[in-house]
């Protein structure tokens, strides 16, 4: 059926990276990993996956480039506006009863969705008592996220998402336009901790009221998804909220029955056991 040699080369690549650098892509979903591996092969102007393994083992700069290529960092502010609407309608009322709110944004990439959540919490009057832990496996994207500077040319799209998300002001109230860039207000970051955390290899580091992990685990295979769900379950307070991507589910995981559905379409769950 499938190309056995290609599968072998990709397996050797992930094994080699893991053994030499300790970065573990061995349980990434094969089909999408395969695409990104080939994108890297072409970007490095190579012909085979095995040549890519040779290069990254001997050239740490090439490894840095591969790391960026293999981790998916496509995101936008208020991605899926209806998710933010559902969060406002169904999760915010639950959060109001807590004196202190801890939120883990796992796989935050360049931070667009973290700033979106900060804005939402600010508008709901909850930001002051919230702390957002935004983590990613990639230091380069975290450095970008900390800056809170995004390209000006995507702001119209983000402003449209912001309005569809049912937000209350203007997105432009939250940033300063400087040439081609939008600098988001420092104050949005005062309760955000950006930190390195790898879902594949790192454990639990706190107990949270909310865990957001949308469109991150689609890049993992079932076994790794199971491990991450175990980690989230252990990191979530009872009655805490877990938000997945719109096309993800808990089906088939060991914790399928430990959550109740808060919003079936937006895939927002509440820990019940």
Question: Residue 1 CB: number of other CB atoms within 10 A?
Answer: 3
Pure H helices in the chain: 4-21, 30-43, 49-58, 60-70, 81-86, 92-95, 112-123, 139-147, 155-164, 222-235
In degrees, to the nearest 5, what angle opens at C-alpha 212 toward C-alphas 207 and 213?
Answer: 115
217 binds another protein (CB under 8 A): yes
80 binds another protein (CB under 8 A): yes
Please tell me the count of residues contacting another protein according to CB under 8 A: 28
Instruction: Figure out which of the listed residues 222, 238, 256, 272 binds another protein, where binding follows CB under 8 A.
Output: 222
248 binds another protein (CB under 8 A): yes
166 binds another protein (CB under 8 A): no
Whole-number minimum distance, CB 252 to another protein, in Å? Answer: 7
Whole-number minimum distance, CB 93 to another protein, in Å? Answer: 23
- Report the site for another protein in 21-50 (rule: CB under 8 A): 29-32, 34-36
Separation between Cα atoms, residue 229 and residue 173, nearest integer Å: 37
Instruction: Figure out which of the listed residues 6, 64, 123, 258 binds another protein, where binding follows CB under 8 A.
Output: 6
Whole-number minimum distance, CB 196 to another protein, in Å? Answer: 22
131 binds another protein (CB under 8 A): no
* 3 state SS of 233: helix
Whole-number minimum distance, CB 85 to another protein, in Å? Answer: 12
Separation between Cα atoms, residue 27 and residue 17, nearest integer Å: 13
Nearer to another protein, 157 or 207 (CB): 157
Whole-number minimum distance, CB 245 to another protein, in Å? Answer: 8
| Token pair belonging to 43 | 């970007």
In contact, 153 and 179? CB cutoff 8 Å: no
Alpha carbon distance, N-terminus to C-terminus of the chain: 42
- Which range of residues in 12-20, 120-128, 212-220, 231-239 is near another protein by CB under 8 A? 212-220
Instruction: Figure out which of the listed residues 78, 87, 127, 219 binds another protein, where binding follows CB under 8 A.
Output: 219
Query: Which residue, 192, 80, 97, 61, is CA-closest to 136?
Result: 192
Separation between Cα atoms, residue 230 and residue 253, nearest integer Å: 9
218 binds another protein (CB under 8 A): yes
198 binds another protein (CB under 8 A): no
Question: Residue 11 CB: number of other CB atoms within 10 A?
Answer: 13
In contact, 25 and 33? CB cutoff 8 Å: yes
246 binds another protein (CB under 8 A): yes
264 binds another protein (CB under 8 A): no
Nearer to another protein, 31 or 273 (CB): 31
Question: Residue 28 CB: number of other CB atoms within 10 A?
Answer: 22
Whole-number minimum distance, CB 240 to another protein, in Å? Answer: 22
Residue 195 pairs in a beta bridge with: 135
In contact, 150 and 77? CB cutoff 8 Å: yes
Nearer to another protein, 167 or 217 (CB): 217
Give the binding site for another protein (CB under 8 A): 1-3, 6, 29-32, 34-36, 72, 74-75, 80, 82, 215, 217-219, 222, 225, 245-249, 252
């Amino acid at each position: 059926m499938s190309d056995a040699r290609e599968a072998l080369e990709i397996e050797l690549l992930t094994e080699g990276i893991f053994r030499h650098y300790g970065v573990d892509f061995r349980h990434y979903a094969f089909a999408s990993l395969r695409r990104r591996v080939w994108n890297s092969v072409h970007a490095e102007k190579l012909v085979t996956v095995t040549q890519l393994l040779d290069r990254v083992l001997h050239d740490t700069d090439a490894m840095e480039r591969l790391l960026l290529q293999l981790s998916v960092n496509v995101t936008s502010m208020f991605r899926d506006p209806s998710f933010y609407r559902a969060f406002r309608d169904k999760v915010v009322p639950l959060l109001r009863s807590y004196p202190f709110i801890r939120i883990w944004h796992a796989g935050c990439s360049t931070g667009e969705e973290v700033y979106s959540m900060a804005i939402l919490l600010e508008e709901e009057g909850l930001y002051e008592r919230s702390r957002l832990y935004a983590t990613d496996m990639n230091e380069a994207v975290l450095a970008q996220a900390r800056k809170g500077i995004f390209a000006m040319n995507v702001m119209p799209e983000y402003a449209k998402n912001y309005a569809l998300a049912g937000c209350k002001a203007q997105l432009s109230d939250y940033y300063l336009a400087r040439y081609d860039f939008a600098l988001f207000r420092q104050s949005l970051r005062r309760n955000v901790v950006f930190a390195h955390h790898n879902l594949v290899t790192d454990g639990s580091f706190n107990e949270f009221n909310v865990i957001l992990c949308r469109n991150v685990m689609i890049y993992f295979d079932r076994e790794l998804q199971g491990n991450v769900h175990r980690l989230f379950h252990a990191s979530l307070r009872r009655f805490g909220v877990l938000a997945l991507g719109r096309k993800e589910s808990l089906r088939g995981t060991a914790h399928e029955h430990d959550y109740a559905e808060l919003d079936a379409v937006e895939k927002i769950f509440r820990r019940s056991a």
